[in-house]
Structures are given as C-alpha cells and as structure tokens.
Amino acid sequence: MTRFEFTIEGDANRKRIDDFLFEKFSDIGKKYLRSILKHEKCEINGYIANAGIRLQTNDFVELEIDDTSAKKILPEKMNLEIVFEDSEIIVVNKPIGMLVHPTPKHREGTLLNGLTHYLNRQSIEKSSKEKTNARLALMRPGLIHRLDQHTSGLMVVAKNAFALRVLNDHFKRKLVEKKYIAMVEEIVKSDNGTIDVPIGRYSEMKHWNVKFNGKAAETHYRVVERFTDSTLLELEPITGRTNQLRIHCAYIGHPILGDEWHGKRAFRRLCLHASSLSFLHPSEGKRLKFSSKVEFGLENL
C-alpha cells in the first residue's frame, strides 16, 4: 500500500473528489479509484469521503492505493528520445502523434507505456531471461503535465512519489516555465502581445473553446519570423487550460497551421512544438533548462 496526502488548492475548489482523483492518478483505472471511495478508503479532513462530495480550498485528502490491485500500465519497448535523466526525474522529447497516457480505446503505444518499460527494463529483461511468471513490482512514471497527441516536444516525468509531489506543487505555483514554437496562418502584425480570454468546455459539442464564463487563460506571444503567408511564433502559456494555445491563436485570427478543428489550411502535422522547459530540480533546488529544435517543413529551427 502506498499512502498519499494532498492539501487542496484553489484550482480544485468545488471539484468533486472522484474527478479530482481521476486527474491526479490518470495512470490508474477509474474503476479502481471508484472502489477506493466505495469501500471508504479515502478521507477528507478525517471524515470518510463519498464520490459526490465537493472539495474546498485547504481540505486535507488522505488515501491509500494498493499497487497490486491498481491497473498497471503495460510496459512496451520503444525508442524514446531521453533528453535528461537522474534518480528522480526524466525529461523526454515526445514525438508527434503519440498519446501521453493510455485511454480506454488506446491501452498501448503511449508515452507512459514506453517509459514504464524504460524505467523497469532491467527487471523486465531479468524476468524474461529467467522465464519467471512472478509479478514484477514496476516503477510507475509520475505524470506531471501533458501534451496533446499531435503536439511534440519536451516533458518532465517524475520517477518517485517525492519528485511527483514537489513538481506538481511547482506547476501549481507557476515556478515552471514552458515555451512553444508554432507556425500560424497569415501574417501576425504585432511583434509581441498577450492573449487574455477565458476558456471553457461546451458540453453539447464536447469540445473546448473561448467561453466568457469559463476559466481565465493567458498566453504571451512573440514573432520569431514572418513568411509569405504564415508566421513563426514563440508562445508562452501562463495558464494551462485544455487546448489553450490552439484556441488562443485561433481567437486572434491566426490558427496554428495544421489545426483541423480551428484552422483553414491543412498541413501534414500540427505545427506546435514544446521547445523550452525550465523548472527547479525537486530535491537539489537548482533551475534546469532544456530546449528542443523542430522542423515543420517550412523552415529549420
């Protein structure tokens, strides 16, 4: 059993406890997480939590997860571009087209499948060599942030619970700096600017877009280079809303090239790449910064 404790912050205020757990433990099956609530194994402020209760800021959540019962991610051997690794974290350059974590329809082929194999490769190879059927206690990669399937670029993943907890806190406190490179349609006239419009989910259409009673969302942009009918931008999301960069670029009349939902021009890929990632090391405290180049096909960066 692994014990987890959380103090609820403002972004989770009024969120249902089950939805909170689904987001916090995205690599564990929802059925198992629901069973924790059903069997009264989760407490809020010392009281048994039921699935429908809504969290409030500063609530203290406690639960235990049985690693032998929680749904495991299937390890898959794949070629991963590892940018940096130590005993606590791993930085990887995610390729375009790869999902970050499994879904009910896609249980294999995701980044977490590959990282699970990579982090446990010695144990897996030893088990295979010895032809043992013993269940392996696999190290589970801790997902801190995500990239869309069609967005490539840098991600940091935790290798233990301590690093996961610290980096989650750093993300919430906006101590992590992320920048993206995007090729957008048409010519952006201003050299730089800020897009500050809220984003929300339209339940009837099951998608996210600008919604004036949604959550605050802010993006800074800077022109890197202008081409004949497109502009290369550097984007810095200050908030982390779903599809924020795609929505904000479309809002100012410059959809990201290859955005099938918001754009007008088809392209061989979505021209969005997480090019820069800077954060504080979870235990050493020093700032680490990583960069990644990309080729969209219109230019070389």
234 and 179 Cβ atoms separated by less than 8 Å: yes
Q: Among candidates 248, 255, 292, which has minimal Cα distance to 274?
A: 292
Which pair of tokens denotes residue 167? Answer: 């980096």
- Which of the following is catalytic: 27, 148, 191, 259? 148
Residue 184 has phi, psi (to 5 degrees) of -115, 160
Radius of gyration of the chain (CA): 21
How far is the CA of 286 from the CAs of 41, 57, 276, 277, 282, in angstroms? 37, 30, 17, 14, 8
Q: Which helix (H) or strand (E) holds 235?
A: strand 230-237
Q: Which helix (H) or strand (E) holds 117?
A: helix 111-119
Residue 69 has phi, psi (to 5 degrees) of -105, -30
Q: Among candidates 59, 53, 121, which has minimal Cα distance to 85?
A: 121
Q: Please name the residues in contact with 13: beta carbons below 8 A apart, sequence gap of 6 or more.
A: 55, 56, 57
Residue 94 in 3-state DSSP? strand
Q: Is 148 one of the annotated active-site residues of the chain?
A: yes
236 and 157 Cβ atoms separated by less than 8 Å: no
* Active-site residue list: 148
